[in-house]
Amino acid sequence: MPLDPLAHLIALAASQVPVSHTWSAGESMTALGRETPALIKNVGELSFRTVLGLQAALGEWMTQRFRHLYNDQEHDQLNEAVWAASIDFRYLRMDTMKFADQPDPVRGPLGLSKGLSRDICKMYQRAQFGAVRYVISSGNLVRYVLPDTKTFQVWFRTVVQRLPSLSAPSARVAGAFDIKVRRQPPMGVSEAVFGTPVPREAFDPSFDLSASSPTALIDAMLVRIAGRSNPFLWTTAELNAAGFPGTPYRYPP
């Protein structure tokens, strides 16, 4: 079964608001908006793991926005794969992330969102600060397709303020500020540089994290994700055959 929508997305899926934005060949650059120094500073305080989780959460905003118009199951699978990768990047299959551009105002933004997930994952594995810049663009894309952005803006601001205390070090500290500085993947980088894994529920402002075990929440999510086929994730059998230490899709492994 797919993951249940977080609380802030249930009303969005039920609203079934028609499309009001335009989409053309040059529209994507407009939709990605601009990064401001304040956004770079604030989002840069997130760890690389939480940047990856934030992209998965933004992907869920995108799929829920258009659910009544186009049920993008591929995007659902990609979102779940990125959630899993935010816990352990070895689960992710990068070679299957191939997405075609689409011309219409529903599939076009959805395709761009999937491409951003792919590009952020590429930057993540190299500990490149560019992942922060791309996730800001992903947030701008969500704003572009929403007819009313107030709820989203409150959510985005709340989670960006909440997450730094849950996972360290920040991307600002762990990665190069300019993505051109680091042209080669870092060698021998400790897994700790990417930050502490955080549960998906940390991206739900209404969820009381103090009342639950983060370890149990992460483990339950991974078990749920592993329960169905996903082209963007290695299977348990494939991971075991490759010598994965511990138990795949359990936390701790």
Each residue's pLDDT tens digit, 143-186: 999 989 999 999 999 999 999 999 999 999 888 544 344 444 44
Average confidence score pLDDT of the chain: 91
Out of 11-25, 97-111, 118-132, least confident range? 11-25
CA distance linking residue 72 with residue 8, whole number of Å: 19
Question: 20 to each of 144, 147, 148, 154, 243, how far by Cα in Å?
Answer: 10, 7, 11, 22, 50
Asked if residue 43 belongs to a domain, the reply is yes
What is residue 176's predicted lDDT score, i.e. its pLDDT?
55
The pLDDT, as a whole number, for residue 143 is 96
Q: What is the pLDDT of residues 66-76, one digit of tens each?
A: 999 999 999 99
| Helical packing angle, 107-125 and 73-87, nearest 10° | 20
**Distance (Å) of CA 7 to CA 34, 64, 143, 252:** 28, 12, 19, 26
pLDDT of residue 13: 77
The pLDDT of residue 125 is above 80: yes
The yes-or-no verdict on residue 142 having pLDDT over 70 is yes
pLDDT in tens, 194-214: 999 999 999 999 999 999 999
Position with higher pLDDT, 187 vs 152: 152
Return the closest-CA partner of residue 124 out of 210, 32, 55, 77: 55
Tell me what percent of the residues of the chain surpass a pLDDT of 90.
80
Whole-number pLDDT of residue 194: 93
Q: pLDDT-derived band of residue 87, with 50, 70 and 90 as boundaries?
A: very high
pLDDT greater than 90 at residue 28: no
Lowest mean pLDDT among 20-34, 81-95, 135-149: 20-34
pLDDT at 250: 97
- 71 CB burial (10 A radius; 0-12, 13-18, 19+): exposed
Q: Which domain holds residue 224?
A: 7-241
Residue 150, Cβ density class (10 Å: 0-12 exposed, 13-18 middle, ≥19 buried): exposed
> Residue written as tokens 């075991």?
240
Identify whether 252 is part of a domain: no
Q: What is the pLDDT of residue 1?
A: 56
HSE (side-chain half, CA atoms, 13 Å) at 125: 14
Are 58 and 186 a contacting pair, CB within 8 Å? no
**pLDDT tens-place string over residues 53-65:** 999 999 999 999 9
73: tokens are: 């199951």
End-to-end CA distance of the chain: 22
Helix (H) or strand (E) segment spanning residue 90: none
Question: What's the domain count of the chain?
Answer: 1
**Is 52 a member of any domain?**
yes
Q: What is the DSSP string of 143-195?
A: HHH-S--HHHHHHHHHHHHHGGGTS-S-HHHHSBSSTTT--SPPSS--GGGG-
Q: Is the pLDDT of residue 222 over 60?
A: yes
Read out DSSP for 6-46? Answer: PHHHHHHHHH-PPP-S---TTHHHHHH----HHHHHHHTTS
- Structural domain contains residue 204: yes
Residue 246 belongs to a domain: no
Q: Residue 140: exposed, middle, or buried by beta-carbon count in 10 A (0-12, 13-18, 19+)?
A: middle
In a domain, 213, yes or no: yes
- Rounded to an integer, the average pLDDT of 115-144 is 95
pLDDT-derived band of residue 29, with 50, 70 and 90 as boundaries?
confident
What's the whole-model pTM score?
0.93
> Given this model, what pLDDT does residue 24 score?
85
* 184 belongs to a structural domain: yes
